[in-house]
């Protein structure tokens, strides 16, 4: 087991995309990182021959699996300093075609998963006065079509962040949230048509998609001591999307 004072960050959904970039950033900054994902194949594709990172194949929406996950992680390293609740799924569909099964599938990972993963980390985070960063979305800040389940799940994560911050503050545990704008990951590209890509470019002041690293930098900042008096907040890392009203494409012409 590694020395007691090396910090540990758990990143869920770390096999690819934003989660993977986040795990790498924490590692570069001296953390040990637990890469959690339910996708065995994607995890197997990652080469991890570094003693400071380890893969854990678990589904964070399943309470029993989470118990096993924490047991394995704490057997590997004896403390938890940061939890990044990043694992998420997207399902875009019109309201009338969003069956309750599709709705529940989205809520199970995006909302229940964040609730459960956090709840079970509290005893460890109390000991380290650690902190949590939840990953929502600009879809949780602004409504759009096709996102009835996804957008609602992410808006709930923003409120859940405030609830968690309010209650856990007295233990010195901070809880914040990042609302990413569009990033060309597998999740986004499965639901972003060419039309949607162009519309995002139009609506975003910086006129482009973000990168995985740009989102990871926001997550790392909120988890770091530089954010020691920030809790209960949602930071949009979105190229300015949330700040704008109507008319940007016309004004650009």
Which residues are at the interface with ligand NAD (CB under 6 A)? Answer: 12-13, 15-19, 37-39, 42, 59-61, 86-90, 109, 113, 135, 137, 180, 182-183, 185-188
Nearer to ligand NAD, 130 or 239 (CB): 239
Nearer to ligand NAD, 169 or 180 (CB): 180
Alpha carbon distances (Å) from 170 to 69, 148, 223, 231, 245: 26, 35, 17, 12, 38
Q: Shortest distance, CB of residue 215 to ligand NAD, whole angstroms?
A: 7
Alpha carbon distances (Å) from 47 to 10, 105, 159: 18, 30, 36
The tokens 């926001």 sit on which residue?
Answer: 218
Q: Shortest distance, CB of residue 104 to ligand NAD, whole angstroms?
A: 13
Q: Shortest distance, CB of residue 151 to ligand NAD, whole angstroms?
A: 10
Distant-in-sequence, close-in-space partners of 113: CB < 8 Å, separation ≥ 6: 12, 60, 61, 85, 87
Nearer to ligand NAD, 39 or 72 (CB): 39
Q: Which element (helix H / strand E) includes 178?
A: strand 174-180
Q: Which residues are catalytic?
A: 150
CA 61 to CA 75: how far, in whole Å? 21
Q: Shortest distance, CB of residue 235 to ligand NAD, whole angstroms?
A: 13
What is the DSSP annotation of 140-155? GTS--TTBHHHHHHHH
Nearer to ligand NAD, 10 or 125 (CB): 10
């Amino acid at each position: 087991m590694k020395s007691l004072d090396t910090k540990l960050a758990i990143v869920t959904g770390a096999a690819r995309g934003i989660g993977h970039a986040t795990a790498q950033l924490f590692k570069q900054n001296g953390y040990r990182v637990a890469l959690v994902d339910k996708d065995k194949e994607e995890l197997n594709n990652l080469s991890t021959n570094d003693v400071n990172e380890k893969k854990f194949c678990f589904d964070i929406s399943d309470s029993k699996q989470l118990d096993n996950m924490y047991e394995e992680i704490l057997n590997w390293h004896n403390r938890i300093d940061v939890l990044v609740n990043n694992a998420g799924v997207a399902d875009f569909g019109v309201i009338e075609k969003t069956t309750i099964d599709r709705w529940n599938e989205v809520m199970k990972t995006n909302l229940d998963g964040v609730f459960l993963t956090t709840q079970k980390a509290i005893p460890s985070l109390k000991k380290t006065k650690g902190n949590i960063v939840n990953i929502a979305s600009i879809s949780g800040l602004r409504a759009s079509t096709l996102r009835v389940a996804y957008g609602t799940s992410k808006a709930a994560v923003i409120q859940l962040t405030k609830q968690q911050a309010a209650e856990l503050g007295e233990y010195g545990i901070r809880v914040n949230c990042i609302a990413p704008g569009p990033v060309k990951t597998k999740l986004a590209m499965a639901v972003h048509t060419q039309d949607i890509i162009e519309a995002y470019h139009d609506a975003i002041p910086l006129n482009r998609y973000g990168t995985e690293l740009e989102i990871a930098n926001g997550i790392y900042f909120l988890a770091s001591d530089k954010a020691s008096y920030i809790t209960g907040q949602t930071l949009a890392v979105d190229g300015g999307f949330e700040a704008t009203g109507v008319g940007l494409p016309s004004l650009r012409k």
